[in-house]
Structure 1
Amino acid sequence: MQIYNKYIVIMRYKKLAQCGNVNLPYGTECVVIDKHIICDKGIICYVASQDAFNYFSQNDDGNGLERGRLTQAIIKRLDRKEHDPTYQDRWDKVWSDPVCQKYKRSDFADHWLWNYDFYNAPLLDLQYIAKLVGVK
């Protein structure tokens, strides 16, 4: 597993974090120390936590905002919506695609959850998955 040094806020983080109440606007840069995302106030969260997945994106390559936009758009596109006849078709594509398979958590055989690597994936892979599921 690669250790990243930089993360960026992809959606305002206004919550109680490990270091206390934090209000980080979109685009705020953070660092990673010992697998924890850190801001000027202290430790926010663990890099593999749900808060990290929802509010931050790896930014070592300077593409963190785009990476975050794509991961969130893919997740939103795959959410079940009422009266959506193509919902299962999108998921069938994901389940059968070898690129997507790299990003499935292996500890859930019959349920798809995105793994840590998905949230840190190269932009080309995320762009491919976004196109596969019909992100506009």
Structure 2
Amino acid sequence: MVEHSSYIARKRARFSAFGIPINIPWGTHLTAQEGFIYLGEQPLCTVTSQIAFDYFTQDDDGKGQERGVLLESIIARLRPKNERDDCQRRWDCVWGDPLCQKYRRPEHEDFWLWNYEFFNAPVEDLRHIANLIGAK
């Protein structure tokens, strides 16, 4: 696992961190140290937590905003819009793609969960996945 030192809020983040209400606007720059993401001196979450996956992405390369837009687009495209939306064809493309396989958590053989590397992937890989499933 690559450790990143700079993160960005890829969407507004509202949650409670260690009992403190948090409200972070989109695009806010954050830091990471010893496995925790911080807003100033306030620890928010671990870098591998669901909160980190839901709201933040690494920005060490200065492409955090683009990465965030791509992540949101991919996740939205793979989520059914309504009960008649059959997103299985899009998921079949993901399951069959060798690049996507490196972003799947291996402990689930019959269910896809994105791993830590996906949420911090190079934008080129995320563009590939977005194009694969028709995300905008």
Normalised by the length of structure 2, the TM-score is 0.94
Which amino acid in structure 2 is aligned with residue 127 of structure 1? R
Q: How many residues align?
A: 135
For 1:110, the equivalent position in structure 2 comes to 110
For 1:123, the equivalent position in structure 2 comes to 123
Q: Deviations over 1:54-92 (max 9, x none)?
A: 11110000111111111121111011232124x111111
For 1:88, the equivalent position in structure 2 comes to 88
For 2:26, the equivalent position in structure 1 comes to 26
RMSD: 1.2
Q: Deviations over 1:25-74 (max 9, x none)?
A: 11111100111000124100011111101111100001111111111211
Provide structure 1 residue ranges, at least 5 long, that are not aligned to the other structure: none
Contact 1:105/1:113 (<8 A) preserved: yes
Q: Does 1:56 align with 2:56?
A: yes
Contact 2:31/2:40 (<8 A) preserved: no
Normalised by the length of structure 1, the TM-score is 0.94
Provide structure 2 residue ranges, at least 5 long, that are not aligned to the other structure: none
For 1:39, the equivalent position in structure 2 comes to 39
Which aligned segments of 4 or more residues in structure 1 are displaced greater than 3 angstroms? none
